[in-house]
Structure 1
Amino acid sequence: MNQYRTIDVARMIGIHVNTVRLYEKCGLIPKPERLENGYRVFTDLHVEQFKLARAALKVEVLQNGLRKQAVQIIKVSAAGDYEKAAALTKKYMEQIELEKENAEEAIRITRDILSGIGNKHAQTDRYWNRKETADYLHITIDTLRNWELNGLFTVKRSQNGYRIYSLEDLQRLKIIRSLRCANYSLSAILRMLRALSDDPAVNIREAIDTPSENDDIITACDRLLTSLKEAGENAIYVAGQIEIMKKMSG
């Protein structure tokens, strides 16, 4: 097996030498042997583990412990337990698929509500107060207030100044709740709602997954569908790396 210095590994992977040392310190690679002069000696196995770690850490979505699972896979692989690492990767990939299903389901619910399928109630002139609305949606009043402050909807007020919610408001809030439960960001939801206001026939899936070029900060949940797709592709690569290192060690 080939041997490499710290600087060699850094150049091969495209990282700083201090990052190489940090990976060692954090247990993300196997502990390298050291020469009598104290210099680290890395092997091809270390290089492959670096590739695995870099791919796994590309995950941007943090919900339901995905990032934590990725780090665990890296550390277990670094410890040489490739069977366990493979099992963890399989579980990780299943979790990503579940998140993707939830994200797609939220979009389907949105389409249904907008088309009237999700509304089984007859039209009514009745209004609900804030507490009734929160109870109906199974959310907190603070959550309602947060959505309003972030511009997701504009609430009407009664003559005495109290906030009141119409059936149309409840339908819009159902959409917001479904998308938030699937971990879409507030900015992504707002972007989609604005797009719908401009064009009711807009492609919901595209609108919610495509940040504007004018957005100052773009998070993974602003492009959730794309981020989950990339996480799944990286997980497949990680699984392949585990098999490569398993053969190298055997």
Structure 2
Amino acid sequence: MQNLKLDHIIHYVHQLNDFKYPGHLFTLHQGGQHVRLGTFNRLAYLNNAYIELLDVFKPEILQKVIKSDEGRVSFPSKIVQDNYKQGVKTLAFRTQDIEQLKRDLENRNIEVIGPVDMQRENKKGDKTSWKLLYIADPDYRVKPPFFIQWNEREEVRNKKIAPFQQKEFSVKGIELYSTERAHTVKKWQEWFDMTIISESATETLLKLKADDITYRILDGEYSGYKSIVIKDTLTTSPYTLIIRGVSYRFEAD
């Protein structure tokens, strides 16, 4: 499996046009519209990943899209499946060769959908494009992360987003609940080549082989994403903010 890394986190927010992080903690930048999905976004760039705040501008388009094979696994489909409940819906893992990744997964008898060509356009008419690959296995308890490859060289993209990054913040971990933790852990190991760092009677800690970010899967009465753990180099004590269905937990450096 390739050297996957966390690219971004998708947090669904109602009335995104009016949303600001408490205390303007994260600066939000204009993203654009996903016209074929009926969604739009705002982006908060951190040191090692970014948070995509997503909202729906044409629910009728999204409702129609998710009835297709591609649509039912697409990144905004969980919004409808959760009856428009706010919160983190899924994650994106970055790859440098999405076609090879597809072959690798299919060689393991893992069904995938894609690559799917995507783009968004901002108000100035500037377009950003990328490819997506989705796990199509219907037998999961937590909507699996999907794969993304940007249609520009990594060094070019890094240089482009560097002025927007808030370097004092780094994603340290993601926490999620699963009603069947052993099942979710097994699937995430199969799909993403994750390594188990530690395990107890109630939780399992995983990581990607080429990334330092950890994924804590806890026993829960429901399945879904719980918390984003962020390292803050400018604070001397930890703090937590509950923001639109998500616990943002900040840890001192």
Give the TM bin, normalised by the shorter chain: under 0.3
Q: Which has the higher helix share?
A: 1
Q: TM-score, normalised by structure 2?
A: 0.23
Q: Between Structure 1 and Structure 2, whose CA radius of gyration is higher?
A: 1
Q: Which has the higher strand share?
A: 2
Ranked by relative contact order (alpha carbons within 8 Å, sequence separation 6 or more), the top structure is: 1
Q: TM-score, normalised by structure 1?
A: 0.23
